[in-house]
Amino acid sequence: MRRLACALLLVAIAIIAVLLSRASTARSARSDAPAAESPTVPSAPRPAGETGPQVDAQTGAADAAPMVASPSTVPPDGDASLVVLVVDEKRRPRLGVTLQVTYIGGGELKPGPQADTDEDGSARLAVLPVTRAYQAYVTARVGAYSRSAWFAAEEDEETRTTIVVPTGGRIAGVVRHATKGLLADVRVTGRPDEEARLEFLDARTDAEGRFLLDPVPPGSWKISIGGKDVICLKDYISVKLGQGGSADVGVIEVGGATINGLVRDAATGRPLAGVTVEIRDPVFFWPTTTDLRGRFRFEDLTPCLYAISFHRSDYARRYLAGVEVAAGNPTELTVDLAPAAVLHMEARDAGGRPYVGMAQFNYASPDGSGNFGVFFDEEGHARLQGGLPPGRYQLTLSAPGIDAAMASGEMVRGENKVQFAIVRRPVAPPDGVRSLHGTVRDAKTQAPLPGVRVCAQRLEANTDEHGQYVFANLESGECRVSAAREGYGDRHLEQVTIAEGEERLLDFTLEPAATVHVVFRDRGGNPIPGEALATFVRLADRVPTVLRLSADTLGRATVRRLAPGVHRVRCSMPGIGESERKEVTIPPGESEIEILLR
């Protein structure tokens, strides 16, 4: 699993680096957001452990800094210096190589400064000191080739790293569609067989379907065709190059195969609308949604074996592996989904006090295991709908401030009640070791807020019933503190400085967020269940919020993180339709809006 997670991390980093440095490549990873003014920031890749992969020894770059998942904001300017030297295999400097710095933190990737190397092959960039809140890497791009290296810059200090880029070596070929002929402007990518190499190849076909990857270092490469802009997924082609060698892979034929499918309720046989269907090959994926007749369709698939997953919030997930797709007659699929078990959970301690806040819910059964994040309200109640097929489960609840609580039993279709007996850990540490503590309150009522997740450095804590949190034995120095709770806007504080042995008091408030119930309907007024993409743009500050919503059988989905005000809204369901752009006023508290999908 560690090797797989590492490989996924490297691929994600390389792809993002290319997106930041090449506008033409950016077209191949278009956002799914329905509104042009609402770009989304891709999720940051997460290492398998606390540290990221090591950079190839020949680059001389440092290991990856620890990745912290707590929210963070990267300032625009830096007060540390990064000097990057770019050379070829014979240590000759490379002039005019484009360098791009990227910061990772808080589940986001943020672009940093850019520069081109001078005649000495070096460039100096003003970067941010790498803290516990985020990490950073720099990418060098030469032609179709890019290479990344992690760095750890210190404040008011100069950090140096060297990146080796190749000379010579190329891979050429032609991409042709089985029925449409030569394909222009299709993405061609290459990844090294060695998982630890932070390298990436990227090019697009010309008007005659030809592509050229140049330069290419020696070694084994996996070449893939297609992407989210063209549904012609292709299993990778292995190419091995020697030093300065070249290879012509000839004509790569893609497309020409089709999947037609129907998704039904396993108990009643009725068609299911709004089911998310996702097809994958070894590199790319493509999602769609069943229409009102429960049907879905994939076209332009390259004949090979695919994996397909099916998901709707009120049904158990289903996964099909090794679906063979051939050219000629369409592949017909009929898939039955079983209604999921709905869990009503209650968590209380021995004194009857409810647990409030976010928790991780883990499940295990003979058929598999997994986890969900769930929120327990002021009564200690949480509801989990979807994802769990009926069966016998071992359940575990864990969260900051409590010992892991366990329950087990047979879960049936429909409603199930589960009770967790929790044991709280001491809220306050012994005298003399407290370093950061405080109270979180509602900004409107000033009432203390229980169940707020507070993050500081690598630690997390939940506020108790009095809204209090505490961290012991934090490291001295700069510390970024953040807090979040369902129903409230996230609060990101500026960095605070903690002196050695200091007991620091930090109180703050959270602004209540509006709760909006979004109801999706078709032209006939019928509710539409399923997965939807919604974009809310608050007109006062043009701040976009892009959300993936899961509508129930009544077509209803709930959003609890929007700021009150006038918003421009647009929604879409792949395979069903999209709404017109409309303006709605979202008041404080609860409200409901209807979205008509055409």
Task: Report the pLDDT value the prediction gives residue 133, as an integer from 0 to 100.
Answer: 55
Q: Give 43's contacts (C-beta < 8 A, 6+ positions apart).
A: 107, 108, 109
Task: Report the pLDDT value the prediction gives residue 83, as an integer from 0 to 100.
Answer: 94
Q: Is 93 or 338 the better-scoring residue by pLDDT?
A: 93
> Model confidence at 499, in pLDDT bands (50, 70, 90)?
confident
For the ranges 82-86, 151-155, 177-181, 246-250, the lowest mean pLDDT is seen at: 151-155
Task: Report the pLDDT value the prediction gives residue 237, as an integer from 0 to 100.
Answer: 82
Same fold, 170-254 and 434-510: yes
Assign a CATH topology to domain 257-337.
Immunoglobulin-like (2.60.40)
For the ranges 103-112, 458-467, 510-519, 573-582, the lowest mean pLDDT is seen at: 103-112
CA distance 20 to 12: 12
Q: Is the pLDDT of residue 245 over 80?
A: yes
Percent of the chain whose predicted confidence (pLDDT) is above 70: 81
Task: Report the pLDDT value the prediction gives residue 19, as an integer from 0 to 100.
Answer: 41
Please give the CATH superfamily to which domain 515-596 belongs.
Carboxypeptidase-like, regulatory domain (2.60.40.1120)
3-state DSSP call for residue 423? coil
Are residues 383 and 371 in contact, defined by beta-carbon separation less than 8 angstroms?
no
Tell me the two tokens of residue 155: 């404040």
Are residues 563 and 588 in contact, defined by beta-carbon separation less than 8 angstroms?
no
Task: Report the pLDDT value the prediction gives residue 563, as an integer from 0 to 100.
Answer: 82
Q: Is the pLDDT of residue 224 over 70?
A: yes
Nearest to residue 380, comparing CAs of 411, 342, 424?
Answer: 424
> Model confidence at 66, in pLDDT bands (50, 70, 90)?
very low
Task: Report the pLDDT value the prediction gives residue 106, as an integer from 0 to 100.
Answer: 55
Q: Is the pLDDT of residue 356 over 70?
A: yes
Task: Report the pLDDT value the prediction gives residue 235, as an integer from 0 to 100.
Answer: 64
Task: Report the pLDDT value the prediction gives residue 228, as an integer from 0 to 100.
Answer: 55
β-pairing, 434-442 with 504-505? parallel
Task: Report the pLDDT value the prediction gives residue 78, as an integer from 0 to 100.
Answer: 58
Nearest to residue 150, comparing CAs of 127, 123, 116?
Answer: 127
Task: Report the pLDDT value the prediction gives residue 124, as an integer from 0 to 100.
Answer: 92
Question: Which CATH architecture fits 341-421?
Answer: Sandwich (2.60)
Question: Which CATH architecture fits 170-254?
Answer: Sandwich (2.60)
Q: Is the pLDDT of residue 59 over 50?
A: no
Task: Report the pLDDT value the prediction gives residue 9, as an integer from 0 to 100.
Answer: 47
Average pLDDT of every residue of the chain: 79
Q: Is the pLDDT of residue 15 over 50?
A: no
135-194 pLDDT, tens digit each: 889 999 999 999 999 988 877 778 999 999 988 789 999 999 888 889 898 889 888 877
Domain ranges of the chain: 2-164, 170-254, 257-337, 341-421, 434-510, 515-596
Q: Give 370's contacts (C-beta < 8 A, 6+ positions apart).
A: 362, 363, 387
Q: Is the pLDDT of residue 247 over 50?
A: yes
312-349 pLDDT, tens digit each: 877 888 889 889 888 888 999 999 998 888 899 999 99
Q: Is 282 or 219 the better-scoring residue by pLDDT?
A: 219
User: Would the pTM of this model clear 0.85, i.e. be above it?
Assistant: no
Distance of CA 173 to the CA centre of its chain: 33
Task: Report the pLDDT value the prediction gives residue 52, as an integer from 0 to 100.
Answer: 29
How many CA atoms within 13 Å lie on the side-chain side of 251?
A: 8
522-576 pLDDT, tens digit each: 888 888 888 888 889 888 877 778 888 888 878 899 888 788 889 999 998 877 8
Distances (CA, A) of 297 to 14, 91, 256, 260, 331: 31, 52, 13, 5, 10
For the ranges 19-33, 168-182, 472-486, 548-562, the lowest mean pLDDT is seen at: 19-33
Q: Is the pLDDT of residue 461 over 80?
A: yes
- What CATH class is the domain 434-510? mainly beta
CATH code for 2-164? 2.60.40.1120
